[in-house]
Amino acid sequence: MAMRTSLCELFEIEHPVLLAPMAGVSGGALAAAVSRAGGLGLIGGGYGDAAWLEQEFDAAGDARVGVGFITWSLARQPHLLDLALARKPAALMLSFGDFGPFLPQIRQAQVKLIVQVQTLDQAREAVEAGVDAMVAQGTEAGGHGGARATMPFVPAVIDIAQGTPVIAAGGIADGRGLAAALALGAAGVLCGTGFFASDESLASGAAKEAALGGSGDNTERSSVYDVARGLDWPATWNIRTLRNGFTHRWSADISGLRQNLKAEQARFNAATAAGDTDIAPVIVGEAADLVHRREPAHVILQRMMSQAEERLRHLSQMVDPIKRNERMSKLKGSCLCGKVSFEVASSFDKMFLCSCDQCRQITGSAFASNLFTAADQFKWRSGGDDIANYQMPGRDISKSFCRTCGSGVPWSSGDGTKMIVPAGSLQGEPEVAQMYRTFISEQPLWSSTLDQVEAHEGFPS
Amino acid sequence: MAMRTSLCELFEIEHPVLLAPMAGVSGGALAAAVSRAGGLGLIGGGYGDAAWLEQEFDAAGDARVGVGFITWSLARQPHLLDLALARKPAALMLSFGDFGPFLPQIRQAQVKLIVQVQTLDQAREAVEAGVDAMVAQGTEAGGHGGARATMPFVPAVIDIAQGTPVIAAGGIADGRGLAAALALGAAGVLCGTGFFASDESLASGAAKEAALGGSGDNTERSSVYDVARGLDWPATWNIRTLRNGFTHRWSADISGLRQNLKAEQARFNAATAAGDTDIAPVIVGEAADLVHRREPAHVILQRMMSQAEERLRHLSQMVDPIKRNERMSKLKGSCLCGKVSFEVASSFDKMFLCSCDQCRQITGSAFASNLFTAADQFKWRSGGDDIANYQMPGRDISKSFCRTCGSGVPWSSGDGTKMIVPAGSLQGEPEVAQMYRTFISEQPLWSSTLDQVEAHEGFPS
């Protein structure tokens, strides 16, 4: 298994997969397991507890891990940044808030900075600031996030990234999602939900069970749990969790929750301690449908890589053989506007580059470039009624053309056995048995130096 | 350009791209243009106007096109189905409501049925009913839709589709999105926003301009326009449009809009007639960021195909060379838990299948399978501190193993020039210059029929 992207180079990792720094879930053991398996694990710095952070860095042991912070929360306790930088993390990720004030210190420590964005304006700011990488996070992600969805958001961010590696997040929990993110142009992915129920995750056993039984259809974004936990999150972001009794009760009545806050917080705290997931949050995203087993993180990552690789190989097979076949046997052609289209065997009996006055008039150029093939090698694909034909009175000269755009299109020889194809209408390179320039006596001076094909006066005998 | 999927087979089309049947936007000319360019155009049946529908089928001329209906609306005027089936559409797509009642008539007409779904339960119903294909539509789509996002929803639908082709919709407007959808396992895509501003689209000039200038960051789902238009859409779905003065005013105050409905409807109707897109809706999705130009539909489709093909080729290159290289030169290995990992040249000097008592104890099996290679061909990747070594007193026998899972891991020969690798820890097939079974005098009876390698008593000389 190997799939190198700019993200692998940037972080010196084998697989372009980062563990999302899920608060209270991505501890040192999980981050280390992801890093040891070839990805990059990020410890979830969360709302900041220095002792917890020290403990989890210790738990990661000698594994190269990074750490992620909630930016607005970090701003209230900047000493956590000192603590994290002292551990020489492989990457530092900042999400949700103004990363600007932290930039000088992070740069001075020569630690790589990843900034997570949920809007194009945020992405522009991050690019402007010269961050090392951006996570473009879709709304389908678990936990806090914004309103854009991964599929259209990632390419839109890439279009303004000016080469800064873009990491896709939100809705990606298996190799199909990884392959899709790479197809969108992402340099890699950041995964949370996919590792939430892993053996090494710090989520409670009850939360893991609930996550494994959950569905993306049964998640929602809401501020319920921020209110219940007494966290003053900016309104820009809210949190996706599984729906449960608590969200059913309060997500449409946040002001009611605020009015009953004391009692509800007591209920919430008790439920959290007891692992009651009908009240305590299960913070996973829409990718919950794609997670089926509790297993070690390295198994999850290895399967993701195998599946992604299988998908990419399958896709390349979907493209290549037909392309090769097409190159050998079929060419397509169309008029300018596309109404008239056709396909034809790519090998032609002969080609006439004809400089006669009529051909020059027909083409408006130095000569016509007409390919000849047997009628049964040719097939119209569209445009029957859109084709007009002109037959020059008293001469064996005709032109077929599209009624809409006037492009020359193929026509049948008088006896119907041949089709004559204007070479300019082809997409691709025809193979030609014999080429001739014809009627060079009538060629204009400006085209007389085109001399790389056999020459005849009139038609060749 | 060619990329064949099951969708191409099903609808006898060249490119796995369907035009979304956008009401009032996807007329006969646009549907025909998409079909003639190799995709499948679907006329937008909308809320049902028989004369309009006849006119647009006529406008499609001899192109093979399909048609899409809003199911709950069709139920109120089922004669439109007769009209559509009489035109022998290449496909009939039903979205938003119970398609069951229409199934017998559609089957009798032998017309292929596509059902669009926004939840997994809807997908299960469609699979159960045996529809010909499903569109799995993400919330990022323009127009009406649900709450799931494309990236995680499409694979979740595929996992329950039992082989029914799944078409991805929502957020896909260029070749990157198409490639990503195929990577997810979709059989193709359904695109609306990408064709909204095309030359052939029936959207107003003002709406096209607004769409081209719009961003996915500036769209939202709301019921504002359904209320304003007097449409009684089920609450399950709402409509994504660009934000404008009208949505700013009313989307958070639907009941206020209902109270002022008469005046607001007059304002709305006047604005629609005047092309005032600050009041009239511009019905595009988050993919608006990816649409930059007004141009013919066939140009849009051709670019999408070229870009998708380029992406897929690029991705296959990302995988293949390294894989080949790896197969020739490097193998990876790890212990069961993954803490200890290594890589090693895939070609080994020799392999001993050793049945001596010690090796049988070390492995707990019939024999050890030890590969020998030069020390400089071997590299630890992780787990230094996790490795324990056991040296048998007085014998040149040792075992290294992972402290956590106890798996045998490689160890160094006494003089440090060789590494001995338990073959079972390798991912992949080693190349071995010479294999030997050793100490067969000590092999147990139950393993004595493993006789396909050269045999020696003790070590070979």
According to the model, what pLDDT value does residue B369 have?
A: 84
Q: Cβ B151–A139 below 8 Å, yes or no?
A: no
CB A427 within 8 A of CB A331: yes
Whether B457 has a pLDDT exceeding 70, the answer reads: no
CB B224 within 8 A of CB B256: no
pLDDT over 70 percentage in chain B? 93
CB A246 within 8 A of CB A228: yes
Longest dimension (CA), chain A: 102
Whether A325 has a pLDDT exceeding 50, the answer reads: no
Distance CA A170, CA A191 (A): 7
> Of the ranges A334-343, B109-118, B290-299, which one carries the lowest mean pLDDT score?
A334-343
Determine contact: B283 vs chain A, CB below 8 A.
no
> Of the ranges A82-96, A236-250, A387-401, B162-176, which one carries the lowest mean pLDDT score?
A387-401
Residue in chain B closest to A175 (alpha carbons) equals: B184
Determine contact: B171 vs chain A, CB below 8 A.
yes
Tokens 């809003």: give the residue. Answer: B70
According to the model, what pLDDT value does residue B460 have?
A: 54
- DSSP codes joined into one string, A303-320: HHHHHHHHHHHHHHHHHH
Contacts of B152 in chain A (CB under 8 A): 140, 170-173, 177, 216, 285-287, 289-290
Phi-psi region of A170 (alpha: psi -120 to 50; beta: other; left: phi over 0): left
Higher pLDDT, B10 or A439: B10
> Of the ranges A24-28, A106-110, A354-358, A410-414, which one carries the lowest mean pLDDT score?
A354-358
Looking at residues A86-94, what average pLDDT do you find?
Answer: 98
Residue in chain B closest to A173 (alpha carbons) equals: B152
Tokens of B160: 């329950």
> Of the ranges B116-130, B151-165, B293-307, B392-406, which one carries the lowest mean pLDDT score?
B392-406
In angstroms, the separation between the Cα of residue B325 and the nearest Cα of chain A is 10
Close Cβ partners of A255 (under 8 Å, ≥ 6 residues apart)? none
Contacts of A140 in chain B (CB under 8 A): 148-149, 151-152
Choose which CATH entry (3.30.460.80, 3.20.20.70, 3.40.350.10, 1.10.150.120) describes domain B6-202+296-314.
Answer: 3.20.20.70
Chain A interface test: which of B13, B292, B319 (most A C-beta within 10 Å): B319
Determine contact: A405 vs chain B, CB below 8 A.
no
Determine contact: B358 vs chain A, CB below 8 A.
no
Size of interface A-B (CB pairs under 8 A): 237
Identity of the residue in A152, A170, A309 whose CB atom sits nearest the CB atom of B287? A152
Distance CA A221, CA B98 (A): 28
Contacts of A63 in chain B (CB under 8 A): 382
Distance CA B150, CA B183 (A): 12
Contacts of A147 in chain B (CB under 8 A): 220
- DSSP codes joined into one string, A20-72: ---TTTS-HHHHHHHHHTTSB-EEE-TT--HHHHHHHHHHTTTS--EEEEEHH
Q: List strands edge to edge, sheet with A387-391.
A: A387-391, A398-402, A408-409
Contacts of A427 in chain B (CB under 8 A): 1
Q: Cβ B286–A61 below 8 Å, yes or no?
A: no
Q: Cβ B217–A119 below 8 Å, yes or no?
A: yes
Determine contact: B18 vs chain A, CB below 8 A.
no
> Of the ranges A93-97, A319-323, A345-349, which one carries the lowest mean pLDDT score?
A319-323
Determine contact: A269 vs chain B, CB below 8 A.
no
Question: Which residues 101-140 on chain A approach chain B with CB closer than 8 angstroms?
Answer: 119-121, 138-140
Contacts of B3 in chain A (CB under 8 A): 318-319, 322
A181 closest CA partner among A153, A222, A146: A153
Q: Cβ A149–B153 below 8 Å, yes or no?
A: no
Question: Which residues 322-351 on chain A approach chain B with CB closer than 8 angstroms?
Answer: 322-323, 326, 334, 337-339, 341
Residue in chain B closest to A287 (alpha carbons) equals: B152
Please say whether the dihedral angle defined by the alpha carbons of residues A29, A30, A34 and A37, taken in this order, is positive or negative.
Answer: positive
ipTM: 0.72
DSSP-derived letter for residue B122 is H
Q: List strands edge to edge, sheet with B143-145.
A: B143-145, B238-242, B219-222
Residue in chain B closest to A13 (alpha carbons) equals: B381
Distance CA A226, CA A249 (A): 15
Q: pLDDT averaged over chain B?
A: 90
Tokens of A385: 């009624």
Chain B interface test: which of A151, A172, A304 (most B C-beta within 10 Å): A151
Q: What are phi and psi of A287, to 5 degrees?
A: -70, 0
By three-state DSSP, how is residue A387 classified?
strand
Tokens 């040192």: give the residue. Answer: A28
Burial of A128 (0-12, 13-18, 19+ CB in 10 A): exposed
Q: List strands edge to edge, sheet with A368-374.
A: A411-412, A418-422, A368-374, A347-354, A431-438
Beta-sheet pairing, A166-169 with A188-191:
parallel
According to the model, what pLDDT value does residue A96 have?
A: 98
CB B349 within 8 A of CB B373: yes
Q: Cβ B316–A316 below 8 Å, yes or no?
A: yes
In angstroms, the separation between the Cα of residue B148 and the nearest Cα of chain A is 7
* Cα angle for residues B404, B407, B413 (degrees, 5° grid): 115
Radius of gyration of chain A (CA): 32
Determine contact: B172 vs chain A, CB below 8 A.
yes
Q: Domain segments of chain A: what residues?
A: 6-202+296-314, 335-447
Q: Cβ A180–B138 below 8 Å, yes or no?
A: no
By three-state DSSP, how is residue A384 classified?
helix
Q: Cβ A149–B182 below 8 Å, yes or no?
A: no
pLDDT in tens, A355-390: 787 887 777 777 788 889 988 889 999 988 888 888
Q: pLDDT averaged over chain A?
A: 90
Amino acid at B348: F
Distance CA A184, CA B307 (A): 11
By three-state DSSP, how is residue B60 classified?
coil
Give long-range contacts, CB 8 A cutoff, 24+ apart: B442-445.
B442/B355, B442/B356, B442/B357, B442/B360, B443/B355, B443/B366, B443/B367, B444/B355, B444/B360, B444/B366
Domain covering A335-447, topology = 2.170.150
pLDDT in tens, A163-204: 999 999 999 999 999 999 999 999 999 999 999 999 999 999
In angstroms, the separation between the Cα of residue B143 and the nearest Cα of chain A is 15
CB A177 within 8 A of CB B184: yes
Give long-range contacts, CB 8 A cutoff, 24+ apart: B102-110.
B102/B71, B102/B74, B102/B78, B103/B129, B105/B81, B106/B81, B109/B85
Q: Cβ A318–B290 below 8 Å, yes or no?
A: no
> Of the ranges B81-95, B354-368, B387-401, which one carries the lowest mean pLDDT score?
B354-368
A332 closest CA partner among A367, A285, A382: A382
- DSSP codes joined into one string, B237-294: -EEEEE--HHHHHHTT-HHHHHHTHHHHHHHHHHHHHHT-TTTS-----GGGGG----
By three-state DSSP, how is residue A413 classified?
coil
Q: Which residues of A247-262 are buried (b: 16+ CB within 10 A; e: fewer)?
A: beebbeeeeebeeeee
pLDDT in tens, A214-272: 999 999 999 999 999 999 999 999 999 999 999 999 999 999 999 999 999 999 999 99
CB B198 within 8 A of CB B294: yes
Q: How confident is residue B2, by pLDDT bands cut at 50, 70 and 90?
A: low
In angstroms, the separation between the Cα of residue B280 and the nearest Cα of chain A is 23
Chain A interface test: which of B6, B151, B184, B307 (most A C-beta within 10 Å): B151
Q: How confident is residue B459, by pLDDT bands cut at 50, 70 and 90?
A: low
According to the model, what pLDDT value does residue A439 have?
A: 78
Q: Cβ B151–A323 below 8 Å, yes or no?
A: no
Looking at residues B322-328, what average pLDDT do you find?
Answer: 43
CA atoms in the 13 A half-sphere facing the CB of A354: 22
Q: Cβ B311–A339 below 8 Å, yes or no?
A: no
Helix (H) or strand (E) holding A262: helix A261-274
- DSSP codes joined into one string, B388-444: EEEE-TTSS-EEEEETTT--EE-EE-TTSSEEEEEGGGEESPPEEEEEEEE-GGG--
According to the model, what pLDDT value does residue A445 have?
A: 60
Helix (H) or strand (E) holding B314: helix B297-329
Whether A49 has a pLDDT exceeding 60, the answer reads: yes
Identity of the residue in B156, B338, B385 whose CB atom sits nearest the CB atom of A296? B338
According to the model, what pLDDT value does residue A431 have?
A: 81
Q: How confident is residue A454, by pLDDT bands cut at 50, 70 and 90?
A: low
Amino acid at A355: S
Distance CA B395, CA A24 (A): 49
Determine contact: A289 vs chain B, CB below 8 A.
yes
Looking at residues A64-87, what average pLDDT do you find?
Answer: 97
Helix (H) or strand (E) holding B71: helix B71-74
In sequence order, what E strands does B180-260 have? 188-191, 219-222, 238-242
Chain B interface test: which of A319, A341, A343 (most B C-beta within 10 Å): A319
DSSP-derived letter for residue B24 is T
Whether B326 has a pLDDT exceeding 80, the answer reads: no
Question: Which residues 19-58 on chain B approach chain A with CB closer than 8 angstroms?
Answer: 33, 35-37
Determine contact: A316 vs chain B, CB below 8 A.
yes
Q: Which residues pair with A399 in a beta bridge?
A: A390
Distance CA A270, CA A276 (A): 8
Determine contact: B285 vs chain A, CB below 8 A.
yes
Q: Cβ B382–A36 below 8 Å, yes or no?
A: yes
According to the model, what pLDDT value does residue B452 have?
A: 43
Tokens of A370: 């007409």
Distance CA A139, CA A157 (A): 14
Determine contact: A296 vs chain B, CB below 8 A.
yes
> Of the ranges A145-154, A358-367, A412-421, B247-256, which one carries the lowest mean pLDDT score?
A358-367
Identity of the residue in A151, A174, A322 whose CB atom sits nearest the CB atom of B172? A151
Determine contact: B286 vs chain A, CB below 8 A.
yes
Q: How confident is residue A350, by pLDDT bands cut at 50, 70 and 90?
A: confident
A375 closest CA partner among A413, A335, A331: A413
Identity of the residue in B4, B156, B287 whose CB atom sits nearest the CB atom of A322? B4
Determine contact: B216 vs chain A, CB below 8 A.
yes
Q: List strands edge to edge, sheet with A330-334.
A: A378-382, A341-345, A330-334, A426-427
In angstroms, the separation between the Cα of residue B2 and the nearest Cα of chain A is 6
Q: How confident is residue B252, by pLDDT bands cut at 50, 70 and 90?
A: very high
Q: How confident is residue A323, by pLDDT bands cut at 50, 70 and 90?
A: very low
According to the model, what pLDDT value does residue B444 have?
A: 56
Q: Give the total residue count for chain B.
A: 461
Q: Cβ A121–B217 below 8 Å, yes or no?
A: yes
Q: What are phi and psi of B334, to 5 degrees?
A: -160, 165
According to the model, what pLDDT value does residue A459 have?
A: 56
Beta-sheet pairing, A341-345 with A330-334:
antiparallel
